[in-house]
Amino acid sequence: MNKIFLVGLANAGKSTIFNKLTGSDVHTGNWHGVTVNKAVATCNINNQKYLLTDLPGVYGLTPFSPEEAVTVREILNNQDSIFVNVIDANNLERSLNLTLQLIELGLRVVVALNFIEDSKKRGVEINLSALSNALGVEVLGLEINTKNLYKNFSKLISRAKICDKPNYLKDWNLEEPVQFVGKYCDTSFALYNGIRLREGASDDLWNCEIPLSLQSKLKNFALFDGLKIITNTRTNEVNKILNKCLKSKAKNPYGSSKFDKIFLNKITAIPVFLSIMLVIFYITFGFFGDFLSNLTNYFFVDFCGGGLIKLMENLSAPIWLVGFVNQVLIGGVGSVLSFLPQVILLFLFLEILEQSGYLSRLAWLLENSLSKFGLSGRSIFSLLMGFGCSTTAIPTTATLQNGRARTKTVLLIPFMSCSAKLPVYSAIAGAFFGAGSVLVIFALYLLGIAVALLLAVVWQKIYPTLSSEEIVEFTPLRMPKFRKLLQNIFKNIYQFLSRIWTVLLACTIIIWLCNNFTITFQFITNETQVSILETISKLIAPIFAPLGFGWGAVCALIFGLVAKELILSGIAVLNGVVGSAVAGSLISGSIVTFTPASCLAFLVFCLLYSPCVSALSQLKHIVSKRVFWGYIFLQFAIAYGLGALTYLIVDLVGYIGGLEFAWLIFASVCVILCLEYSLICLLNKNTCASCRRCDFQRK
């Protein structure tokens, strides 16, 4: 089958065209580097079947990142296909460099100009036939939003022909290097490799095995400052072409906006970013999100679930079945459904940020600070949302195109103390520190961040992630499209739900079984019987002796695996109290009691140990099995280690009364954080951007 490839700069609209023509649904977004892998689909054009391929955006034909290598490989290995060079009309000046490189290879190139309407509004006027004459290839305007897209595209394909190589190639005297490399590589790569040799880029040769003895000869082919000469030739050619076809230019550069005065301003940029995040956070996890969440919860759990239970009771179903449906189906699964409104809100905001083009500015602002940890500027959104809920924050990392940066972000999210842990903190800390509990809680949040930073740095040393955003292209700020918002939201909801079922259901069932059956597998019907969970807790409680936990605390922590809120309700059940009496019962209760030392150890452990099962079920779909289990183990190890350390230190220092003690804790965590940060800055001092790239390039 004949092949068609969509090539062009990033954000030119290739994937959008691909989706329209083939009816596919590959991700598109208003920033650079959305597509990271090729997508293939068949397409019927002029009664002929073609294989249409969408490729990651490139700026030239020498790859700079793994994604770009995909594009270059596809182009060089399929030189007899048709290449549709998609060009954003607003960006003509910078796009033609790539077009020229395609033409130099003598490929079957056609140019599709996109965003014509948009550019006209900005005052750009392009004479298409002049452009076509100057380039020597067919040029057509494709306006995606019109019905003519398909017709124009067909026209374009039918006119594709092998183009004439430009005259300036003669100035580079390519015969000699081409002949030389031709002996060591496929003839179809000879011209490409010949140009690289003239540039002096003998490391960038494509599929070429030059004997070691001749490697030193390669330098002789390079022109003096070949890269500059070749770049200048192309730039001059582009300028000539533009002179012929560009009737009027835009007043403002593409991607600029009047809002940049505040978004990029030295002083306001960070406060504006923080306020945007705060608003999103407040709406999603504050009263509005809570309200929707409670509403869903009411509908599914109280209305549907309650009705179901009543029905079952009326039909006198066995009591264990009622318990099962109540606790597993309604309690477990229903409680996850109540996350749904917040997930939807979060995705809505993320989509808006993405489509509006603010995300590219954000990435730029934070790139410098986050690249130290191997995170990309875009990670910050997901990380901040982690303070709300890990389960909803983890899927939002889908917009990170760099696989490793994504894994890293996902693994750091659970260390951002989620909102479900807050009631646990405030009840437990409140019991011991009174007015000082706010400080203790704040210290816990900081501790979570400190641990995450430390892990990120260690990870960065072991598995370095290359930041690819030292130069960020700014996308124009656009109004998000309603239909696209809806589409994407539905897609995300589907993904969210489909991920949750298996793990969540299995875990809830296991915990339910453990809580409702005795070790001899009898259903618990009276108080005196001992459940599996209690037996297990008592069994493993000695392990937690160094942290000062009794079996009750261990049991509550196991509940916490299902959902962090259950830690508190678990304690309430075990101590036989309700509501606000929990705090008091921690000091004088029967089963779950703490000393100040063990209370702090418990809080630290709560902060750091494994996230709830719904978060884990999201996590599992993103990282490999090995990483997943390793990560859970690591979290337990950290929680245990720091918990034991806390217990030890507090025991040594001694309890010196509520508020003063809280200040002490707060101050020490702050000191830890500062020390850590300076250490990290020190470590990163001597790594320069280009050095990290060098390693990557050679691989």
Ligand X SMILES: Nc1nc2c(ncn2[C@@H]2O[C@H](COP(=O)(O)OP(=O)(O)OP(=O)(O)O)[C@@H](O)[C@H]2O)c(=O)[nH]1
Residues of the shown chain interacting with ligand X in the complex, contacts defined by CB under 6 A: 8, 10-16, 28-30, 32-35, 56-57, 114-115, 118, 143-144, 355
Out of 24, 64, 317, 422, which residue is the one contacting another protein (CB under 8 A)?
A: 64
Could you say which of Mg ion, ligand X, another protein, none residue 193 binds, taking C-beta under 5 to 8 angstroms by partner kind? none
Residue 12 CB, nearest distance to ligand X (Å)? 4
Question: 666: which 2 tokens?
Answer: 């707060």
What is the rounded CA–CA span in Å between residue 89 and residue 671?
A: 53
First to last CA, the chain: 33
What is the rounded CA–CA span in Å between residue 511 and residue 513?
A: 5
Residue 25 CB, nearest distance to Mg ion (Å)? 12
Residue 396 makes CB contacts below 8 A (sequence gap 6+) with 346, 347, 350, 381, 382, 385
Binding mask 31-70 for Mg ion (x = CB under 5 A): ---xx-----------------------------------
Q: Are 91 and 473 in contact (CB under 8 A)?
A: no
Out of 35, 71, 90, 391, which residue is the one contacting another protein (CB under 8 A)?
A: 90
Which contacts of 644-649 are long-range, i.e. CB under 8 A and separated by 24 or more positions? 644/546, 644/547, 644/601, 646/547, 646/597, 646/600, 646/601, 646/604, 647/546, 647/547, 647/548, 647/597, 647/598, 647/600, 647/601, 648/546
Question: 287: which 2 tokens?
Answer: 């009263």
- Determine if 125 is a binding residue for another protein (CB under 8 A): no
Residue 496 CB, nearest distance to Mg ion (Å)? 23
Residue spans of alpha helices (H) in 528-564: 532-540, 551-562
Binding mask 342-381 for another protein (x = CB under 8 A): -------------------x--xx-xx-------------
**Which residues within the stretch 454-513 sit at the binding site for another protein (CB under 8 A)?**
470-474
Q: Which CB atom, from 69 or from 325, has the smaller least distance to another protein?
A: 69
Residue 109 CB, nearest distance to another protein (Å)? 18
Could you say which of another protein, ligand X, Mg ion, none residue 30 binds, taking C-beta under 5 to 8 angstroms by partner kind? ligand X
- How much is the CA Rg of the chain, to the nearest whole Å? 31
- Determine if 682 is a binding residue for another protein (CB under 8 A): no
Residue 692 CB, nearest distance to ligand X (Å)? 23
The residue type of 297 is N
Out of 34, 92, 197, 348, which residue is the one contacting another protein (CB under 8 A)?
A: 92
Q: Which CB atom, from 34 or from 574, has the smaller least distance to Mg ion?
A: 34
How many chain residues bind another protein (CB under 8 A)? 47
Could you say which of Mg ion, another protein, ligand X, none residue 199 binds, taking C-beta under 5 to 8 angstroms by partner kind? another protein
What is the rounded CA–CA span in Å between residue 455 and residue 634?
A: 10
Q: Which CB atom, from 202 or from 598, has the smaller least distance to another protein?
A: 202
Binding mask 10-49 for another protein (x = CB under 8 A): ----------------------------------------
| Contacting range for another protein; rule: CB under 8 A; set: 54-62, 77-85, 581-589, 626-634 | 54-62
- Determine if 228 is a binding residue for another protein (CB under 8 A): yes
What is the rounded CA–CA span in Å between residue 634 and residue 626?
A: 12
The residue type of 496 is F
Residue 41 φ then ψ, to 5°: -155, 155
Which residue, judged by CB position, is nearest to ligand X in the bound state? 57
For residue 594, the 8-state DSSP code is -
Q: Which CB atom, from 9 or from 586, has the smaller least distance to another protein?
A: 9
DSSP element (H, E) containing 488: helix 482-516
661 C-beta neighbours (distance < 10 Å), count: 21
What is the rounded CA–CA span in Å between residue 109 and residue 191?
A: 17
Question: 291: which 2 tokens?
Answer: 């309200």
| Contacting range for Mg ion; rule: CB under 5 A; set: 8-16, 115-123, 126-134, 335-343 | 8-16
**Which residues within the stretch 321-380 sit at the binding site for Mg ion (CB under 5 A)?**
none
Residue 354 CB, nearest distance to another protein (Å)? 17
Residue 484 CB, nearest distance to ligand X (Å)? 6
Burial of 674 from C-beta contacts in 10 A (0-12 / 13-18 / 19+):
exposed
- Determine if 286 is a binding residue for another protein (CB under 8 A): no
What is the rounded CA–CA span in Å between residue 386 and residue 401?
A: 19
Strands 82-88 and 108-114: parallel
Best CA proximity match to 675, nearest among 453, 462, 461, 459? 453
Residues in the chain: 699
- Determine if 256 is a binding residue for another protein (CB under 8 A): yes
List of residues contacting another protein (CB under 8 A): 59-60, 62, 64, 90-94, 97, 199-201, 203-204, 227-228, 231-232, 235, 249-250, 253-256, 260, 264-266, 269, 361, 364-365, 367-368, 470-474, 688-690, 693-694, 697
